[in-house]
Amino acid sequence: MPVLEELPPVEALVPHRGPALLVDRVVAMSEDRLECVGRIPVDSAFADGEAAPCFVGLELAAQAAAALEALRHRRDFPNAGPQIGYIVGIREGRFEMGEIPLGQELRAQVRLLGGASPLAMHEVRLFHGEIPCLSAQVSTYRAGRAFLATLKDAR
Amino acid sequence: MHHYRGFTLLEASGAAGAHRARLRLEPASPLFAGHFPGHPVLPAIAHLGLALGGARGLEDRELTLVGVRGIRFRRLVEPGEDIEVIVTRGLEAGALRFELRCAETLASSGMLVVRADARA
């Protein structure tokens, strides 16, 4: 996978902010794969002492998938801002660790399995050093602001 | 025993292999911080956390989530909403089925795979 030297900041790819933003930076990307590093922040809402339950790492992996989708979307729409990518399904997930230490660097790898925009399915993996944390197949829906307004109006 | 971190537990009951709880998602909950600015919604992993809380209520002990299967997120959950958590035992040992409902609507569902926590 080629290492990317010039990429937009992660804030331009995903809408998460503050303690909800788990991806630090994208480090490599190809047509259908992306690798990034991130962490579960010490002020995470899911923190339990000095760690968080392993399944919280799914959020980081899903943000990596959202970053891949955003970068693919920007090829066609170069000025597109970050769009909200909702997790709509997890086909199967395995959590290899009981918990993940807070604030320590994690590495997420995602691979696009298929889908039709705005729906996409990715295989995601998360590592702490060389130790596997989790793996899953995650489906996401990339929603624009207009879609969100529609949801609110429908209530 | 309060299994639901970050929520206000309104009521809980357990009978015949099922656990039900009703919770309030406080608007000021830190779960919404930065997720997302201008359009706060409950993160998907918080659904899993709620389901795990229900599983702990059902089994009345600490559990670790080691897997999930067939999870569907069907509805966005917003600040101030009440959530009903329903967890029942699956056919396999360690497999528990959950549903989260908001305003009579299914918000998420699926299967949890858990193991008893060694620290319990």
State residue B120's pLDDT score.
46
What the block records as the tokens of B17 is 């292999």
Average pLDDT over residues A147-154: 51
Residue A151 has pLDDT above 90, yes or no: no
- Distance (Å, whole) CA B6 – CA A102: 18
DSSP bridge partners of B96: B89, B112
State residue B14's pLDDT score.
84
Is residue A147 very low, low, confident or very high in pLDDT (cuts 50, 70, 90)?
A: low
pLDDT above 90 as % of chain A: 66
State residue A120's pLDDT score.
93
Domains belonging to chain B, first-starting first, are 8-116 (3.10.129.10)
Average pLDDT over residues B5-30: 88
Q: Comparing A57 with A2, which gets the higher pLDDT?
A: A57
Q: Tell me which residues of chain A, numbers 112 to 151, contact chain B at a CB-CB cutoff of 8 Å.
A: 136, 148, 151
Domains belonging to chain A, first-starting first, are 10-154 (3.10.129.10)
With beta carbons less than 8 A apart as the criterion, state whether B92 and B54 touch. Answer: no
- The structure tokens 């067939």 sit at B70
Helix and strand totals (H; E) in chain A: 2, 8
Residue in B35, B45, B69 nearest the CB of A16: B35
| pLDDT tens-digit series, residues B49-90 | 999 999 999 999 999 999 999 999 999 999 999 999 999 998
| pLDDT tens-digit series, residues A38-85 | 999 999 999 999 999 999 999 999 999 999 988 888 887 877 777 778
Question: Measured between beta carbons, which residues in chain A are less than 8 angstroms from residue B44?
Answer: 58-59, 62, 86-87
> How many Å lie between the alpha carbon of B64 and the closest alpha carbon of chain A?
6
Residues 6+ apart with CB under 8 A from B22: B9, B10, B11, B12, B82, B83, B84, B85
Residue B48 CB-density burial (10 A; 0-12 exposed, 13-18 middle, 19+ buried): buried
Mean pLDDT of chain A: 88
Residue A104 has pLDDT above 50, yes or no: yes
- The structure tokens 């309030």 sit at B24
| A90 interface with B at CB cutoff 8 Å | yes
State residue A137's pLDDT score.
98
State residue A8 phi and psi, 5-degree precision: -65, 155
Residue A10 has pLDDT above 50, yes or no: yes
Number of neighbouring beta carbons within 10 Å of residue B26? 14
Q: Comparing A86 with B6, which gets the higher pLDDT?
A: A86
Q: Comparing B3 with B97, which gets the higher pLDDT?
A: B97
> How many Å lie between the alpha carbon of A2 and the closest alpha carbon of chain B?
31
| A29-33, B13-17, B26-30, B97-101: least confident range | B13-17
Q: Comparing B7 with A112, which gets the higher pLDDT?
A: A112
ipTM of the complex: 0.91
Burial pattern B60-78, b for ≥16 Cβ within 10 A else e, equals: eeebbbbbbbebebebbbb
CA distances from B4 to A3, A29, B28, B53, B111 (A): 42, 38, 16, 5, 18
Residue A148 has pLDDT above 80, yes or no: no
Total number of residues shown for chain B: 120
Collect all residues from B whose CB is shorter than 8 A from any CB in A: 5-6, 29-31, 33-37, 39, 41, 43-46, 48-49, 52, 64-74, 76, 110, 117
| A88 interface with B at CB cutoff 8 Å | yes
Q: Which helix (H) or strand (E) holds B49?
A: helix B44-59
